[in-house]
Amino acid sequence: MLRAADSVWKTDTGRQRRDNEDSAYVRVPLYVVADGMGGAQAGEVASALAVEEFQRGLPDSDADHPTAEQRLAARVRDANRRIYETAQAEREHSGMGTTLTAVYVDGADLAIAHVGDSRAYVLRDGELTRLTHDHSLVEELMRRGKLTPEQAAEHPQRSIITRALGIEPDVEVDTWTYPGRAGDVVLLCSDGLTSMIDEDQVAQVLRSEPDLDRAGERLIAAANEAGGRDNITVVLFRLVETEDERQEDPGETVVGLQRDDELISPREPDAAAAYGSADPPTAQMTVAPPVITRDQTGSRPAPRLARTQGRPQKKRGRRGREPGQGPLFKLGAALFSIAVVLFLFGGGGYLATRELFFVGTNSDGIVTLYSGLPYDFIVPFYEQSYVSGLPASEVPKADRAQLFNHDLHSQTQAIAIIRQAELGHYPKVK
């Protein structure tokens, strides 16, 4: 029998991102890595919801879920359903999703469930073997023989994934079982590691550094030195022999969501070993949608009416009329009434425009969905609705005019256009 030991989890925002959308869950014998997408206000929520589902543990073995693979897949589908329903119910999280890779140590085997382009590896006798297949555009092109690994590494659409949790009501989950061996080192990671350093570099670090805590630090440092374009998360553990027929659980748990460079996670007995620190964070993690301020959503507060100050008006006219009875006042009152009517109609028009959507780019050059009209007059007539995972620089130049033509669509149509763009399909010229 085998058990997991020396569990380590480390995460880093990287050098080019402001937020960390990765989450992880580690509780012997279950390990999970999730890499969120959809922008800082959505991706981090999606990945956190995914790992939160695994805090419930796996479903009990029964006639419907007799194997560890099937139990893992059931929990992944639960996570997918929860993320999808949250995205449908909360506009600020519309379109969010996450990758997920989970490994469960089941006796002498590793049960694996996988969606997206996070990865799992095993280092055995100095040789690194990948246990997962990316659900990505370039991986699919490589499987069809249309790209070499070298071409895929430099492909402009290498970040586009073809499968993720939360995008559709149901998700296809890849599962399989890999026979473990004492001494195996297992690595789970987000693509922030493997998009920056190749597998030979990963293997070299794991071969040369037996201390898994230091190995995790070195992997993250190498990814940052190579550019650190994305969030970087690594989970490591080692398989060792045990005579106990049951998997030992030392109570080691690491669950987390990186938010605003502050690691929020629970502390349980022996968790310090997983952090490589005598003083791991002690704050209890709360997985909940972040508070959205007006500045974050792009909404603007209602204008305040200015209050004029001055001297009291004197009575005017030969007839000694009281203030407010003269023709100038009546004209002012009429103009004020017209302004009120225009404001009410204008307000209705403003609300109506919020049902219109168009595709553009944000200040970071990421393909973004906006609600409203693509115009600026003193103030913008639009606000940000959803940030995709597709940099505008990765859209072929020939297709940019088609994607960023500012045509107006319904929300469903606009999100569908962005999803197709993430797969490399662009609207046709009318």
All domains of the chain, ordered by start, with CATH? 2-290 (3.60.40.10), 355-422 (no CATH)
199-217 residue pLDDT tens: 999 999 999 999 999 999 9
What the block records as the tokens of 117 is 């382009």
Beta bridge partners of 240: 3
Q: Give 335's Cβ-side CA count (13 Å radius).
A: 6
pLDDT of residue 186: 98
- Look up the pTM and report it: 0.62
Residue 243 structure tokens:
């005579």
Tell me which amino acid residue 235 is.
V
Are the C-beta atoms of residues 226 and 12 closer than 8 Å to each other?
A: no
Element (H, E) at 224: helix 212-225
What pLDDT score does 363 carry?
Answer: 77
**CA gap 80, 98 in Å, rounded:** 9
Q: From CA 339, how far away is CA 333, in angstroms rounded?
A: 10
Average pLDDT over residues 17-43: 90
The tens digit of pLDDT for each residue in 348-378 reads 555 555 568 888 888 778 888 888 877 765 6
Q: What is the pLDDT of residue 201?
A: 97
H-state helical runs in 226-318 = 272-275, 294-297
Answer yes or no: are the C-beta atoms of 85 and 93 closer than 8 Å. Answer: no
> Could you tell me which residues come within 8 angstroms of residue 57 by beta carbon, excluding any fewer than 6 positions away?
30
